[in-house]
A = this chain, B = another copy of it.
Amino acid sequence: METSLKKYAIIVAAGSGTRMNSSLPKQFLLLKKKPVLFYSIDCFLKAYDDLEIILVLPQLHISKGQEIIDAWFDNSRIRICEGGATRFHSVQNGLALIETESIIFVHDAARCLLTQSLVKRSYKAAVEFGTAIPGIPVKDSVRYITDEGNEVLDRNKVMLIQTPQVFHSKILLPAYKIDYKEKLTDEASVVDAFGLKVRMIEGEVNNIKITTVADILFAETIIG
C-alpha cells in the first residue's frame, strides 16, 4: 500500500535580481508572456492535487506576487510569506507555516523549467529515503582552487545540485533549528550540518537556474 503524505512546496523567490542588471527580480521577468515564477507554481500545483505552495517573496514585491496568483491560480492552495536576509532565513520563514507531517519541496523560483516528472520522482525518493536532492553530472573538466593554485577533480564524482530539494518534515523541520552559518547555502547543507546524509537522485539537464539573458532565451526555446 502506497503511503501518501501531505505535500508542501516552498518556492523561494526572494532574490533581488542584481545579477541581471534588471530593476525587476528575475522571478518576475517574462518568459513567453508569463513571469518566470508562474512556471514553477504551475508545475507543482499540477503534479499533486493535495500539494500546497508557500511562496517566499521579497517584502517589496509581495503585491506583485499576489497579482500573479490572482491572475492564474487557485488562491486557496497558495500562501505568501516574506523572505529573509539569506536563502536560509527565507526557507526558515516558509517552514514556520508547516505543522503537518509532510513531504516538503524547497524550490528556487529561478529554476522554472522543472517538470512534473522530477517533482514526482523526488517525492517518491523522499518518502522512501527521507531526502531527495537532484543532481546532474558535469559535462566539463572540473578544477578546485587550492592555496597553491588549482588541481583537477574526478569529474565522474562531481554533481551539480538542483532544486527541488525534497525532505520529510521529520528531518527538515528539526534541521532548521540550527543557527545560521554562511556555509549553509542550500537545504542539503543544512541537513548535512544536522548530521544526516542526503540522498541524491537524477536531476534534469534542462532544469537550469535563470541567471542571465541567455538563460531566458534558452528557457523560451524549451517552453516552446
Contacts and interface: CB of A to CB of B under 8 A. Distances in A.
A43 B154 CA distance: 31
Contact of A160 (B140, B183, B205, B212): B140
Interface residues of A, number: 46
A197 interface: yes
Given A221-B218, A222-B214, A159 B185 contact: no
Interface SS of chain A: mixed
Interface stretch (A28-36, A78-86, A99-107, A186-194): A186-194
A193 to B, nearest CB: 10
Interface in A169-224: 183, 185-186, 188-189, 192, 197-200, 205-206, 209, 211-212, 214, 217-218, 221-222
Contacts of A151: 192
Contacts of A206: 214
Contacts of A212: 205
A158 interface: yes
Contacts of A2: none
A142 interface: yes
Nearest to A192: B152
A72 to B, nearest CB: 26
A68 B215 CA distance: 30
Interface in A126-156: 133, 135, 138-146, 148-156
